[in-house]
Every structure is written in C-alpha cells, then in structure tokens.
C-alpha cells in the first residue's frame, strides 16, 4: 500500500473514531437527562439496558455498560449534592464569609511567622509581603447588580484583598486555566524559543474538536511558531493551541499537567487547586478558587512575556503553509470592556465557560495613581454579565485612575 493510501486510511480511522465518540457523547447526554429529571429507578435500569442493546453491544457489553452507567448515575448524584452544598454555603450568613476571610489570612502567613511567637510585627509583615492577604479594610461584596456568585478584587501592588465574595469556594476555572498554561510554558522554555516552529497535527485539532473547544484556527500539518501558540491560547482561547503548546514544552500533554501541579505547589496553592488539563475542560479533579486564580494572575503579570500576551487586544499569527497571511486573533473581553466606564483601564483579561462553572473571567487594570488591580469572578449568568460584573467591581472598589491631565491641574493648584 502506498504512503498516500496509508495516510488516507489513518485519516478515515480518525474520522470514524471521532464520530463514535460524538455518538457516545450524545448517548451519555440522553442518559443524564433521564436521570436528571427523576425517572424512577426501575425504569432507569430498563432504559439503560435498552440503550446498551440498541448501541449494538452483546450481553456482556450491555452488562458492562450498565455497570458503567450506574457509576455515572452515582457520580452525577454526588456532583448534584456537592452543587447543592455549595449553593447553600453561598447563602449562609455573613459570619461564614468572615470565616472564609480568616482562612485566607491564616493561610497566607508564612510558617516562620506562625511558629515564632516572638516575631515582631515588622518581621511578620516582611514574611507576608509576597502573599495576597486579607487586611482589616477588606470588604465583603454587596452589589445588587453583581450576577457572579464568586468574586475577588486585589490590589496587585500592595498584595491586599480589597473586596471578596466566597473567595475559598471550589470552582472549575474553565478557560481561565489557560493563563496558567502560558505561565508554566513560559517558565520552561527560553525567550529565544518563542520563534521556534511547531507542526500542528490531527492529535491537537482532534482534541479541540472532540471536546467542543473554541479554537485559534490552526490546521493539521500547519507549521506555526511557538509565539503563535502562546497568543492562540489566550486571545481566541484556542483549545488546539493550548494542547499543542503543552506538547511542545513537555513532550506530552500528561507530562505538562504534572508541571502545572508542581507550579501550584511552588505558588503555595496546591491544597486548594489541582489541574488535569491545559485547556480548562471540566473534570472533578480540575478545580481552583477565585483567590487562587488571583495568585496565578499575579504570577502571570510578573512574567514580562506572559503579561505581553494577556495584554494584547489583537495579534496576527505568522505566515504559514496553511495561512499565508496569518490569522488575526482578538481578545474578546478586552475589546468589549474598553468601551465601558469602570474608572480605569482594563489592560489584560481571560474569560472561561463550562456548564459547571458558568461564565468566569480574570482581568487586571490600572486605577488610582497607576496602581494595578486584579479582579476574578466566577459563575456569572452570561458572558456579557461577566464583563458587567468586572465593570461594577472595579467601579465600586478601585480608586479612579489619576490621569496626566488631573496630575497637571493638581500641581498647578
């Protein structure tokens, strides 16, 4: 068999595999729908058996699928129970919010400060200097217009929490994950490697397609630069770009995930955050908090190359064999919030969405006397509401940006 025929056969096999995965995904969704709407237990078992038989399996396969679906049902029930518990926790009195604040404050104090009771206040301040911390002026967020269930506003210059709402509650970060992806990637390659080239394959594009990810638009056998992968990961939230970047850096996606969790330990947030993928797909073991996302965002801002990427409104990828003129990429969040008055300038941002997390976003901007603030929100009711929530939070809790004109007038007066 010639090389072209072998390649075509492989492509056909991949297409068939993707089709099987899509059909299986649709079948799983039907099963979940029946379970979610309370079909009686006996009827559920009958439906599961019938679906297993209709899917073409023999008795053995039907039995195995039934056992698998029973586990799925238990997992769904557990997830629903956890969701209810989280919703109830969000409705608890203010005292619980204050407990959450205390947890953050307690955890951000260094081990040295907590073990040495004789340490002076000045020494304690030095030990917490590089940590995002709660201070006595931190406010619990009470904004009627806020739709996000979880929120945090941080002064990045002083590392102090300005305002918070359920900051320690576990969430799925969705595509906010990708700011962590570029941070880990940037720390494991040299700056000159950004102009290295990488070939996109069906493994990368299939991953994005099968999981219904947004994409940058890279194609099979397209030769792109590593720099293109960084921008493709953030601006259009490209699933294939994030997956390919992980493979370039670590040799495999699995190896890159290990690097991600090692970085969580380095940042001191591994007890409350854990990642299973570089893209932000939902997984029960893929979780974080809005507080932890603020810590990650601060680390991204401290990396010049990452800050450059996340602050870009547009970027045109390099000329390739598939896109001779490149691809024009845009940061959707920044371009839509720049027309809104939030009292300052939003410089960089990354959005995210999966059903389990709702719409979420992390951003940073300039306010006051050129101070940088970080805002993180999760579980907004829509993408536009996520943007509006950031506008509301910046407007309510950050000082208006002091412009050069205002500084000139003040000096004259």
For the chain, domains (ranges, CATH) are 3-90 (no CATH), 174-397 (3.40.710.10)
**189 Cβ partners below 8 Å, 6+ apart?**
226, 249
132/124 Cα distance (integer angstroms)? 14
What is the residue-wise DSSP string for 221-283? T-EEEHHHHHHHHHSS--HHHHHHHHHHHHSSHHHHHHHHHHHHHHHT-TTT-B-S-SS----
Q: What is the pLDDT of residue 100?
A: 46
Residues of the chain with pLDDT under 70: 1-4, 7, 10-11, 13-15, 17-19, 21-22, 24-130, 404-413
The count of other CB atoms within 10 Å of the CB of residue 350 is 31
| Structure confidence by residue, pLDDT tens digits, 65-83 | 444 444 444 554 455 555 5
Q: What is the pLDDT of residue 76?
A: 47
Whether the predicted model's global pTM rises above the 0.85 cut: no
133/386 Cα distance (integer angstroms)? 24
| Structure confidence by residue, pLDDT tens digits, 85-120 | 555 444 443 334 443 443 444 344 334 433 343 333
Q: Choose among 387, 375, 388, 377: nearest CA to 149.
A: 377
Give the angle 201-207-210 at the CA atoms, nearest 5°.
Answer: 130
Q: What is the pLDDT of residue 350?
A: 97
| Strands 223-225 vs 314-316: parallel, antiparallel or unpaired | unpaired
């Amino acid at each position: 068999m010639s090389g072209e025929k072998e390649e075509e056969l492989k492509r056909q096999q991949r297409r068939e595999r993707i089709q099987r995965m899509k059909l299986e995904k649709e079948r799983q969704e039907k099963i979940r729908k029946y379970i979610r709407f309370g079909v009686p237990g006996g009827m559920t078992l009958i439906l599961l058996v019938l679906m297993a038989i209709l899917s073409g399996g023999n008795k053995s396969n039907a039995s195995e699928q039934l056992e698998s679906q029973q586990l799925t049902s238990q997992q769904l029930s557990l997830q629903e129970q956890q969701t209810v518990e989280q919703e109830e926790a969000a409705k608890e009195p203010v005292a619980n919010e204050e407990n959450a604040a205390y947890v953050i404050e307690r955890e951000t104090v260094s081990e040295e400060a907590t073990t040495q009771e004789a340490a002076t206040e000045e020494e304690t301040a030095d030990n917490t200097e590089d940590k995002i911390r709660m201070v006595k002026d931190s406010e619990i967020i009470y904004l009627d217009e806020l739709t996000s269930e979880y929120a945090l506003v941080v002064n990045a210059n002083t590392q102090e929490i300005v305002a918070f709402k359920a900051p320690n509650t576990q969430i799925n970060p969705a595509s906010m994950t990708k700011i962590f992806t570029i941070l880990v990637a940037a720390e494991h390659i040299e700056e000159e490697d950004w102009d290295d080239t990488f070939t996109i394959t069906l493994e990368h594009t299939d991953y994005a397609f099968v999981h219904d990810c947004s994409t940058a638009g890279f194609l099979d056998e397209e030769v792109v630069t590593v720099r293109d992968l960084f921008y493709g990961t953030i601006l259009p939230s490209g699933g294939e770009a994030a997956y390919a970047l992980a493979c370039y850096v670590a040799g495999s996606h699995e190896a890159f995930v290990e690097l991600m969790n090692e970085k969580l330990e380095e940042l001191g947030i591994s007890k409350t955050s854990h990642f299973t993928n570089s893209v932000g797909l939902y997984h029960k073991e893929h979780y974080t908090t809005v507080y932890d996302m603020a810590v990650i965002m601060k680390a991204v801002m401290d990396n010049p190359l990452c800050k450059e990427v996340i602050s870009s409104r547009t970027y045109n990828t390099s000329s390739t064999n598939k896109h001779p003129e490149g691809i024009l990429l845009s940061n959707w969040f920044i371009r839509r919030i720049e027309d809104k008055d939030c009292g300052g300038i939003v410089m960089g941002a990354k959005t995210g969405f999966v059903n389990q997390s709702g719409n979420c976003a992390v951003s940073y901007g300039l306010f006051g006397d050129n101070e940088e603030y970080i805002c993180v929100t999760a579980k907004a009711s829509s993408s536009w509401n996520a943007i509006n929530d950031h506008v509301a939070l910046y407007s309510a809790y950050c000082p208006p940006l002091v412009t050069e004109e205002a500084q000139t007038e003040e000096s004259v007066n």
